[in-house]
Each structure stands twice: as structure tokens, then as C-alpha cells.
A and B are shown apart, each in its own frame.
Chain A
């Protein structure tokens, strides 16, 4: 697609509305649309080849292709293009068909012929590409019938996977930039702040700070220059909601930033995006260019007197830059080390000027709030936490992927209805929520509402929204160790408690998981954790001990089992395991020796094999592959 998608800039709200009408009509009734998922997950599963195959097949069958949505095209013409992430990455590559609303999963290039033949030419679904429930074998034709989606709510992700993110007109067709137009031509900045305040929108990046209050503080700060920063430094391991929004619907974020800019009096914005997200950066670049060409960004937006420019800053790999003061340091070209607050960014932020820092998902909510009103937003979710939340559901759950649910949905709904329960028939043990800053939830929390305050009351947090489900083979001490290893290596090293404290907590956790821990170590661990929580400089440090404190709270007996009884109850800690081969049962098939990643198993063909304990890394592969049960753990 060329970048000059519009032909002419939009110089008034009327121009925007006219374009919207044309685009919507073209999108909904003009042609059959095949939207191939172009998110990171599906592209790495080969969705680009799928799109190429579809286009080749369409051409071969003489089906007229729609090169440009708004151009005249014959009846029966088809548009095939890249859409954003639909969330269900595990079953990708995903192809969606509109207007029939078919939802195809695990599509391979060789499926192109069937799709063109049956769906494009005959309007029928391709049965074997439909999602089927593994347990019941039931097939579902459309997205909304699939259990994974049935319980979800679509606000932020509604357009992801439906529109093509590299075509601004498709966003405009779906009411895009109409909220900005309403602000510029019908609302004062105070009105806009009030609407967001009334909606009760809270920061989706972790802290849950009221967005309206942040804006109001910044609006009131007197300064010659103000900035809006979109925090797209999504670094929590196990979280990828921001990436999917940026890849699937970048304009929603740009529009949210422009509205924020109008509300607080800023004319410049930065998107600070993780370097690990090259596709998101590329989509943003295209989106900014198109919006500038359309005069939806830049000078005198839509003919108003409001100017707003957006720059992209790519991060360079530092989790701590998700903390707003560290992020600001990083944009300024410094080491990304947080600084004490006050002063808050709203008073003195980027280059010393008042600055709003909002996360991607927060900003993507803003246009919807302006369009539909605070009352509508409050009707979703719970009173203290209105709206929806996007979670990344991963781990030992049947259906993994990105989900959007109303705030206050219960853990049970998420894990069992949407997630389809635990994989491999194992037992649910815990959900780790909020990544390395969060905590764990157990069976007793299955009816807990997922919202800011309920989660905080049990020592967990929404965080950026990572939900990692773990089954009963998971050792909670090992989980705490894993997260501590992460925060320890991502600590910026500035403040004593976080730098030294995370290192010492990791040391103690390693000691315990390797079988050298004592009861005193558990006490010291808790003492350090509390000091780090209470005394660290920034949010990362203050929340770094959460995985430890939360596992100590709910699984203290597992810690004690390691240090008192010398066992890992889940059987997960390698140090407590020892692998050997029962020479009676071993038939010398050599399979285990072939699969051993470190070559620790030796033996002649058809002779019993042995494991060298020195070389063995206790990964358990031999145990998994042996069909005779000869490997003993």
C-alpha cells in the first residue's frame, strides 16, 4: 500500500465524517475481506506466507483483487491484507473472513486453495480450519462462539484483527479520530479532563493511578511547553497486551495521545517503545505518517488551532524504563535510573517540563470514553475500577493468548471459562498475576474479582496484566526465585535496598532451591523483602519483593519443606532430584541418550544405559521420553 492513502488532507470535521462514511461502506459491504493476522505471534508462525499464498491463489483463480479499498472495484472482488492480533496466538496463524465473520485457525499456505474455493467463491466455511474444542470435538464457525472469546468484552481490542492497521481509513471507518474531532470542536480542555476523570479511568500500566487526576495536575502546571509520553516499554515477562494494541490498532493510541495533549495543553508527544517490538515500531511509523498526511497530527489538526506532533523513541533494553522517571531519563539520553518523587512528572518531567506519562492501553481507552461518555465507561467493570482490562493469559492453561474482560471478572471465569482449564489434565495450583511486581493467587481466590483494589487486598496487583497459570508441578519457591532473578538483573542499581536487597533475596532463594537453605534463611528472606518493599526508591524496587512476600504468605509450608524436610513438594527443584536408570527395565533403545541435551547418558545399543550425575543437568527429558519407565527420578 502506498502511504498516500488519502489523496488529500482533512481540513475540517466534515471532511472526516465524509471520509468515514465512504470508508465504512467500502469496508462492510464493498467486498469480501480476508484479514490475516500480522501480529508478532502469527508472523513468526508463517502468516506472511499464508497471505502471499492467498493472494496468489486469488489471482490464479481470476478473482478480482481490491488494491485500494476506496477505489471502484467489480462485484465479487476480494481484499486480503494484514490485520492485528486477535489474541488467540496459540492457534495461529489466524485468518478472519468478513463479512461472514469466519474464524480460521492454524492456517497453512496450502490451505489457500480451500479458502478461495469454498469461502470466497461459495460463501461456506472451511471446516477443518475452524476452531474445534479438543474435548468435545465441537467446531465453531465464528469468533464469538468460541469459548475463549465468549466471556470476553471488546473495548480496547475490539478492532484488533478486524481492521488493517496500516490503513488509516479503516480506523476512520470504525469511528477513528471522531473523538479527537469532538474534543477540538466541541469541548474545552477542562471538559475533556472532566470526562476522563468522571469515567474513573485508571492507569493500566500497573499502579492504577487515576488518569484524570494526572491530566488535571499537568493541565494546571504553568509552563511554556508540556509533553505527553506514551509508555510502551512493556517489559513484564509474560505480558504482551501493549504490543498487540500497537501492532493491531496503533491509531487508537495516537488519537488518545492527541486528546491528552489537547486536554493538558501539550503540543508534542513521545512514544517510548521497547526495542524488542520492531513490528510495533514499524506500524507506529506508518500510522504517524498517515495521520500527518491526513492532518490528524501535526499543525492545525483538522483545521483547528491545535498542533500535536508525535515522535517515537525506541528503548534499548531496560525493564526499569517502564518506571516513568526512568523512562524520562532514557528519552533525555541518560541511564534509565528513576529519580525521587516529588517532583512528579506532572510538575517537572521531560526536559524539566510538565509531562503526562500514560501507558498504551490507558491511552487506547481514551477515544472510546470521549465517544461514548463517562457513563458508558462506568457501566462496564466495577465502580472502583471501571472499564475493561486486557490480560495476557499464559502458562499451563489450555487456551493461551490475549484476553479482554470487564474489570472485576473472577479468576475462575478467566482460568476455566476463557482459558479452558489446566493443560494435560493436571491440577490448578496458582496464578501469578502482575509479573515480577505482582503476586500469586491460589485456589481460595478463584472467586476473587480481578480489579485494582481486590487484588491489592490480597497482596497482588493488576500490574501490566500478565496472568501466568501454574499447575501442581510448579514449585513456588522456584517461581519466586525466577522472578527475583529477573528483577535482580533488571534493577537499575541506584538505590541500596533494591540493588543489594534483590541480590541477597536471590542468593537466599537459590540457596533454598538448591537444598542448602535453613529456617533462618526464610526469616532473613522475609526481613529483607519487607525492607526492600518499604524503603526502595521507585515502584520497581517497592514491588520487587512481591513474588517473595506473596509466596511466603500463601505457600510458606513449601519453603519450610525445602529447608526442614529437605524435599521439594512439587518435585520441581532439580537439586532435590536425582535421575538414574533401572538396569532391569532398560532395554538399551538409546532414545534417552539421543534426547539428552547434554550427553549425560551413555550405553551400548541393547545394553542398559547409565546417567553420569556430574554431567546431568536434571532437566527430566529422559524421564519424559522413556517408554519403559526405566528412568527413575
Chain B
């Protein structure tokens, strides 16, 4: 597999800019309750997860109790209140994928990434593994999504090739970094 993996880099600029973006979002969507979910979605794009203090700030700006914002953020599967890895690997667990035996894929991924039961993100913050409900790519079952790119008809072998490619890209990037120094 030679296609490059799409990586959404964490915002490279200072955290201050990211925070500035949150206030912009409040202004853009308006400080009303119905804007809460879109603001949380965009805030998560900025921070890649939803830190507590950012949720409190959004609550303050929208005049909502922090518990309510926390309640909404923990209701929807899309929101993460913990930092996630650079590569988020979502294995679809829809019916079609299940019927076409995605369990083997999941166990091989777990063992390759060294994730224990209940653990989602590797300690080096490189990968997060999520088992997600149907992504609607049933005709391509079993399907896997890595940072918004869909991979269809996955097998353990194909998965290995994709991860090897990511590792190669990462190693090259690390090498570049060293040269610069």
C-alpha cells in the first residue's frame, strides 16, 4: 500500500491561538444553547480532545452550567475528554463488518499496538484504537478508518502494511527533525 496516510496534524501554533479560536467559534455560532454541539465539534478539531477547562470556558460563554456541557460532551461518541493519538484508527463494527469477521482484525491490531483491554491510546500518543458503530461502508466490509481515510476489505495483512507505512513516514519525519537540529 503506497498511498500516503492522511494525518491531521495537531495545530502547530501556540495554544493561545487555539484558545482564541474557541472565542471566535462562540462569536461565529452565537452564544445560544443550540450552538453547543457545533462549538464542541470545532473545539475538538482545535485541541483534538476537549480539555476540562475549555469545556468550562464554553459553559461560561454560553451561560450554561458546566455539568450540562460535561453531560453533552459525554453523551456523544464523537467527543473525547482525553487526549487521543496522532493516528486514530477506527475499526467499523457494523453488521456487515462483523459478519465478515472483523474480530481477527481487532485482535491483531491490539496485539500489534500493544494495547491492553480497556486501553485505547498507546503510551507514546501515536495511535488510538476505537471500535466504532457502522460507518456505512458495508459493501467494503470489513472497513477501517484512519484519520478520516476509509480503508475497505481489510485483512490483518493489509492492516500490517498500512501500519508499516505509517511507521516509515514517522521514522522519516523523525530523521528530518534530527537533521534540522
**Which of A's residues lie within 8 Å of B, judged by CB?**
40-41, 43-46, 88-90, 92, 234-240, 243, 274-278, 313-319, 330-337, 351, 392, 394-396, 400-402, 432, 435, 466, 468, 470, 474, 482-483, 486, 489-490, 492, 595, 597-599, 617, 619-621
Contacts and interface: CB of A to CB of B under 8 A. Distances in A.
Contacts of A396: 99
B137 interface: yes
B122 interface: no
Interface string B99-130: 11101110110010000000000000000000
A489 B76 CA distance: 11
Contact of B138 (A240, A317, A332): A240
Determine the interface band of chain B, counting residues with CB < 8 A from chain A: 35 or more
B133 interface: yes
B59 to A, nearest CB: 12
Contacts of B71: 335
Interface in B32-59: 32-38, 40-41
A244 B133 CA distance: 18
Nearest to B151: A44
Given A317-B78, A336-B75, A40 B137 contact: yes
Given A235-B133, A316-B41, 8 more contacts: A46-B3, A88-B139, A237-B138, A274-B136, A331-B34, A332-B34, A351-B34, A394-B99
Interface of B: 3, 32-38, 40-41, 71-72, 75-79, 93-96, 98-101, 103-105, 107-108, 111, 132-141, 143, 148-152, 156
A414 to B, nearest CB: 15
5 contacts: A331-B34, A336-B75, A392-B139, A619-B101, A619-B107
B37 A316 contact: yes
Given A333-B37, A482-B95, A482-B98, A392 B107 contact: no
A617 B103 CA distance: 9
A599 B111 contact: yes
A237 B143 CA distance: 12
Contact of A90 (B33, B139, B149, B150): B139
B95 A435 contact: yes
Contacts of A46: 3
Contacts of B108: 597-598
B137 A314 contact: no
Contact of B104 (A275, A317, A394, A597): A597
A61 to B, nearest CB: 26
Best-surrounded residue of A40, A432, A483 (most CB of chain B within 10 A)? A40
Contacts of A243: 136
A315 B78 CA distance: 9
Contact of A276 (B32, B111, B135): B135
A370 B140 CA distance: 36
Contacts of A595: 156
Contacts of B107: 597-598, 617, 619
